[in-house]
Amino acid sequence: MQRRNVIVVGAGPVGTVAALACARRGLSVTLLEAQARIDDSPRASTTQPPTLEILAELGLVDEYIRVGLTARTFEFWDRPTLERIAVFDFERLHGETDFPFVVQTEQHKLANMAIARLRSMPNAEVLLGTPVTAIEQDEDLVTVMAGERRFTADYVVGADGGRSTVRKSLGIEFEGYTWPERFLVITTKFDFAAALGCCFRSYMADPSEWTNLFKVAGDDLKGRWRAVFNTREDESDEEALSDAAVRARLARIYVPEPARDYLHLNLYNVHQRVARHFRKGRVFLCGDAAHVNNPIGGLGLNSGIHEAWHLSALLNRALRGENADLDDYENIRRPLNIKYVQEQTVANKKRLEEREPAQRAKRFAELRAMADDPRRHKAFLMRAALLERS
């Protein structure tokens, strides 16, 4: 078996970007994916400005924007009264980024797009249906086992998701906690923008049950909405997924009775966890393999793509014998994830679920004040878009 520069484990959005970024720098790359096809169930879609900049560098951004929806603003609402509390406008980021907006493109589209590019490159190979089972390394090289098959490389990128086999085989702890409630995503063709006047990214606070509304393009580009809810802590999965409970939730976000049909349901556990280390020897962790968080604010996947980009540059320099400190990866990326992704997603969740009336009023007043003050508005967006770097 030919030794590669880099093996990437996992062809999710992070692994495919890592592989493409390495291949475009001229490195020989093998991408190993357990599944025979890319999972297209509804997961992340919000793509922040710095991530769009990376996709531009990779030559993917035009296609990416074409198969998604552009959202210039996001809004906070009070769900019980249907009052719009604050609007944040990415136009305020003009001059800070070439992309003063987010793009809502489903993550499987990015993975499939990057795989198509990799398949056209002579220095890259993509092996689907190849689950990695173990990793061994010495000072000189890494060996990746996929059942009976063995692959060798100078470096390995573990981008194999929250349950990462790579992280476990390195014995790295995944520190943090799991929230007691789960998140339910209802995908529907009901047009919330037309019915409620909300934008394509709308966060609706409610002390009993919050809702976030997002519009995505869908594979047919005809458009559909995802309504994300918290479940009750004592609610069983079966109950949350029951037709009656789903229709009741749609009723609580003002969907009229005849329009309460839905296309898809997704119920999942939500965690805040960060790996104790992002690197062990010649093996690196990226994306959900390194950290997981609640999705409110659309930050986890974006930070994973930033890591993939940063790591590809470091590995490229190291492999070409240029000055590269591979410890920079963990030293820079791990604190960034804690400060910008973990802290903000926890704060975002608390903002939506606040139960105490005086605290709710205070949080709403704070949001209004931020939106009204140009300097604070921009500062809030710089953090929310992961453009602020320290």
Ligand X SMILES: Cc1cc2nc3c(=O)[nH]c(=O)nc-3n(C[C@H](O)[C@H](O)[C@H](O)COP(=O)(O)OP(=O)(O)OC[C@H]3O[C@@H](n4cnc5c(N)ncnc54)[C@H](O)[C@@H]3O)c2cc1C
- The site for ligand X, by CB under 6 A, has a size of 31
Residues 341-366 as b/e (b if ≥16 CB within 10 A, e otherwise) read bbebbbebbebbbbeeeeebeebbee
**The one segment of 60-68, 154-162, 195-203, 342-350 that binds ligand X by CB under 6 A:** 154-162
**Which residue is at the shortest CB distance from ligand X?**
12
Contact with ligand X (CB under 6 A) among 28, 47, 165, 316: 165
Query: How far apart are CB 256 and ligand X at their closest, in Å?
Result: 25
**According to CB under 6 A, which residues from 333 to 372 bind ligand X?**
none
Q: By C-beta, is 182 or 363 nearer to ligand X?
A: 182
CB of 361 to ligand X, least distance (A): 28
Select the residue interacting with ligand X from 6, 7, 8, 9 (CB under 6 A).
9
> Which one, of 316, 335, 336, lies nearest residue 326 by Cα?
316
What is the smallest separation between the CB atom of 115 and ligand X, expressed in angstroms? 11
Q: Going residue by residue from 89 to 108, which x/- string records binding to ligand X, judged by CB under 6 A?
A: ------------------x-
Q: What is the dihedral of CA 370, 374, 377, 383, to 10 degrees?
A: -130
Helix 357-372, helix 374-384: angle, nearest 10:
110
Q: Which of 300, 310, 334, 341 binds ligand X (CB under 6 A)?
A: 300
Binding of ligand X by 298 (CB under 6 A)? yes
Between 17 and 86, whose beta carbon lies closer to ligand X?
Answer: 17
Q: Should residue 113 be labelled a site residue for ligand X when binding is judged by CB under 6 A?
A: no
Does position 157 bind ligand X by CB under 6 A?
no
Is residue 96 within 8 A of residue 22, CB to CB? The reply is no
Q: Locate 290 and state its tokens.
A: 């390194």
Q: Which of 4, 5, 8, 15 binds ligand X (CB under 6 A)?
A: 15
- Euclidean distance between CA atoms 353 and 210, whole angstroms: 6
Asked if 68 is part of the footprint of ligand X (rule: CB under 6 A), the reply reads no
Contact between 145 and ligand X per CB under 6 A:
no
Cα 77 to chain center, whole Å?
23
Binding status of residue 144 toward ligand X by CB under 6 A: no
Strands 4-9 and 279-280: unpaired
Q: Name the 3-class secondary structure at 145.
A: strand
Task: Please report how close the Cβ of residue 237 comes to ligand X at its closest, in angstroms.
Answer: 13
Residue number, 10 or 100, with CB nearest to ligand X: 10
Per CB under 6 A, the segment of 13-21, 49-57, 200-208, 330-338 that binds ligand X is: 13-21
Q: Residue 260's closest CA among 242, 248, 277?
A: 248
- What is the rounded CA–CA span in Å between residue 366 and residue 257? 35
Helix axes 300-319, 13-24, angle to 10 degrees: 30
Contact 210, 252 (CB under 8 A): no
Of the candidates 195, 331, 343, 176, the residue with the CA atom closest to the CA atom of residue 258: 195
- Residue range at the interface with ligand X (CB under 6 A); choices 28-36, 247-255, 309-317, 327-335: 28-36
Residue 14 interacts with ligand X (CB under 6 A): yes or no: yes
- What single DSSP character describes residue 339? I
Q: Does 11 sit near ligand X (CB under 6 A)? A: yes
32 or 364: whose CB is closer to ligand X? 32
d(CA 53, CA 122): 25
Name the one range near ligand X by CB under 6 A: 155-163, 245-253, 316-324, 369-377: 155-163
Site for ligand X in 207-246 (CB under 6 A): none
Query: 300-319 and 49-57 are packed helices; what angle lies between their axes, rounded to 10 degrees?
Result: 40
Q: Which of 115, 107, 131 is nearest to 305 (CA)?
A: 107
Q: Which is nearer to ligand X, 339 or 376 (CB)?
A: 339
**Per-residue contact flags (x/-) with ligand X for residues 252 to 291, judged by CB under 6 A:** --------------x-x------------------xx---
- Rounded to an integer, what distance in angstroms lies between the CA atom of residue 379 and that of residue 390? 12
Binding residues vs ligand X (CB under 6 A): 9-15, 32-35, 43-44, 46, 107, 131-132, 159-161, 165, 185, 266, 268, 287-288, 295, 298, 300-301, 304
